[in-house]
Amino acid sequence: MKTLGIIGGMGPLATHDFYRKLIELTPAAEDAQHIPVVMVANTLIPNRIAAWEGRGPSPLPALITAARQCVESGARVLAMPCNTAHFWFEDMARAVPQARFLHIADEALRACPRGDGLPLRLALTGTHATVAMGLYQSAAVRLGMNVQWIDVTGVQASVTAAIASVKAGRIERAVAEYQRALDVLRSAGAKTVVMGCTELPVIAGSVRSGVLLIDATETLARACIAACMND
Amino acid sequence: MKTLGIIGGMGPLATHDFYRKLIELTPAAEDAQHIPVVMVANTLIPNRIAAWEGRGPSPLPALITAARQCVESGARVLAMPCNTAHFWFEDMARAVPQARFLHIADEALRACPRGDGLPLRLALTGTHATVAMGLYQSAAVRLGMNVQWIDVTGVQASVTAAIASVKAGRIERAVAEYQRALDVLRSAGAKTVVMGCTELPVIAGSVRSGVLLIDATETLARACIAACMND
């Protein structure tokens, strides 16, 4: 069994959510059957959104340090439960060639159904930055997937409001906003919707989606379990 | 702010429970106000109970490695959310003199009320091994506390059954068993009961205790927050 390195702390609750899913999804009856984990959750890593918008210092040096610390403590598989930070994924991966670094968007897309030759009608819901960075679009190209991206003006405002409401603990408001977004996306033809943000899975059970909802954090946890155990 | 090192994985759910309490109890409005964390959760550490009973190899080398990896990745405060593993606490602490290593029993006892000159009538609930190791009794001596330990024959069987029932997801049975244990301890004069086991806090809200219940994991999390932030 390989040791998993978790580059976390962005934010702490997202890291905690990923770690919980990792434990719950691992087929283990006792401690020793669980995956050994090394986690570096440096909450002082410079703000990713600010850096991406050119308003603050790059988080890359701190991200590379965290990845190296995981590897030095024995990690051979790496995961980073934060969509936005994947903007620096390639530079990080080059700095830790000893480890297999799993990409959250790749794993989420691998969990989507293939369209039997037809394009997969897919929508991404997440923060404005995650969507605008094109992380998932690049991943689809990398994986050679035939995707028709469903994007409708105005949906991002509902998704942003849903995420902010979850963060603020206003669950009823969050469900209403996310329901509105999903209704519009389904009407526009979306069959599968990726929740590319750690807040949305919290309310996924409370919406009537009519689409296949993919939890990116959960798909990353499942991929880590497979990568660490099948060895 | 100092970095916290968590020596975890014994078991993974206990580590997860501690990390959740750490995050929830930290007075933070944004990521950067949370405590930087390095966690080494080596689930392959030799079984602690087996080692203590002389039936298996010592976990000490692996525990020291985990502590050193935390320190090498920047941790200056250390915590280990596993009562049983504290049997090796002193040997571990000597191996990482650069860090301040907080003891779960010390922190649980510090959270107990002092008895105004009278002995504190205290009971410990936990696994058979935790109770038999005398970790909490030694901690009381170390802290100079005047404690009258309340221990009643037969209580351990109820506590053991309660813990096993939580692990098995049989919550109703767990509540009934723990209720029985607390009723006996209160009748015997206990005023404060330490939950020295990570399973018991799960059902603490469902028992009518009539005593002050102290969650050792939570007191350790609070002590870590104070040690890392007040600096």
Q: In CATH, what class is A106-216?
A: alpha beta
B contacts of A14 (beta carbons < 8 Å): none
Alpha helices in chain A (DSSP H): 12-25, 48-52, 60-72, 89-95, 104-110, 128-133, 135-142, 155-167, 171-187, 216-229
Establish if A173 touches chain B: CB-CB under 8 angstroms. Answer: no
ipTM given for this complex: 0.90
Q: Do B39 and A34 touch (CB under 8 A)?
A: no
Give the Cα separation of A183 and B87 in Å (integer): 57
Q: Is the pLDDT of residue A113 over 80?
A: yes
Span B87-92, mean pLDDT? Answer: 97
- pLDDT interval class at A140 (50, 70, 90): very high
pLDDT in tens, A183-230: 999 999 999 999 999 889 989 999 998 999 999 999 999 999 999 998
Q: Which CATH architecture has domain B3-103+218-229?
A: 3-Layer(aba) Sandwich (3.40)
Among A8-12, A61-65, B132-136, whose mean pLDDT is lowest?
A: A8-12
User: Cβ separation of A73 and B72 shorter than 8 Å?
Assistant: yes
Q: Which of residues 59-118 of A touch B (CB under 8 A)?
A: 69, 72-74
Q: Which residue among B16, B26, B43 places its CB closest to the CB of A31? A: B43
Q: How far is it, in rounded angstroms, from Cα B58 to Cα B48?
A: 7
B202 to chain A, any CB pair closer than 8 A? The answer is no
**CB spacing of A72 vs B74 below 8 angstroms:** no
Tell me if B16 and A20 make a contact (CB, 8 A cut-off).
yes
Contact B9 A40 (CB under 8 A): no
Nearest-Cα distance to chain A for B160, in Å, is 17
A229 touching B (Cβ < 8 Å): no
Q: Which fold has domain A3-104+218-229?
A: Rossmann fold (3.40.50)
The one-letter code for the residue type at A76 is R
Residue B231 has pLDDT above 80, yes or no: no
Q: Which residues of B touch A23 (CB under 8 A)?
A: 12-13, 16
pLDDT at A199: 86
Average pLDDT, chain A: 94
pLDDT of residue B199: 86
- Mean pLDDT of all residues in B193-200: 92
What distance in Å separates the CA atoms of residue A5 and residue A40, rounded to the nearest whole number?
A: 8
Domain with CATH 3.40.50.1860 in chain B: 3-103+218-229, 106-215
C-beta of residue B13 within 8 angstroms of C-beta of residue A10: no
The pLDDT score that the predictor gives to residue A13 is 86
Instruction: For residue range B126-168, list pLDDT tens digits in order.
Output: 999 999 999 999 999 999 999 999 999 999 999 999 999 988 8
- The partner residue sitting opposite B37, judged by closest CB among A1, A10, A39, is A39
> Is B114's pLDDT higher than 90?
no
pLDDT of residue B220: 98
Find the residue in B nearest to A70 (Cα).
Answer: B73
Contact B44 A23 (CB under 8 A): no
Query: For residue A231, what pLDDT is reported?
Result: 61
Cβ neighbours of A34 in B, within 8 Å: 9, 11-12, 43
Could you tell me where the DSSP H helices lie in chain B?
12-25, 48-52, 60-72, 89-95, 104-110, 128-133, 135-142, 155-167, 171-187, 216-229
CB contact under 8 Å between B11 and A19, yes or no, is no
Nearest to A16 among B3, B19, B31 (CB): B19
pLDDT of residue A83: 94
Give how far A18 is from chain B: nearest CA, Å.
10
Give the other-Cβ count within 10 Å of B40's Cβ: 30
Indicate if the pLDDT at residue B116 is higher than 80: no
pLDDT of residue B64: 98
| pLDDT tens digit sequence for A148-183 | 999 999 999 999 999 999 888 889 999 999 999 999
Which CATH number describes the domain made up of B106-215? 3.40.50.1860
pLDDT for residue A31: 84
CA atoms of B196 and A222, how far apart (whole Å): 32
Instruction: Report the pLDDT averaged over residues A38-50.
Output: 94
Q: Looking at chain A, which residue has its C-alpha nearest residue B38?
A: A40
Check: CB of residue B101 under 8 Å from CB of residue B88. Answer: no
- Measured between beta carbons, the chain B residues lying within 8 angstroms of A42 are 3, 36
A170 touches chain B (CB under 8 A): no
Alpha carbons A144 and A180: distance in angstroms, whole number = 31
CB B45 within 8 A of CB B59: yes
From B33, which residue of chain A is nearest by alpha-carbon distance? A43
Q: The tokens of A132 are what?
A: 């605008």
Q: In chain A, which residues fall in CATH 3.40.50.1860?
A: 3-104+218-229, 106-216
Q: For B43, which of A9, A13, A34 is closest by C-beta distance?
A: A34
Average pLDDT, chain B: 94
Q: Taking CB atoms and an 8 Å limit, are B41 and A36 in contact across chains?
A: yes
User: Helices then strands (H, E): number in chain B?
Assistant: 10, 8
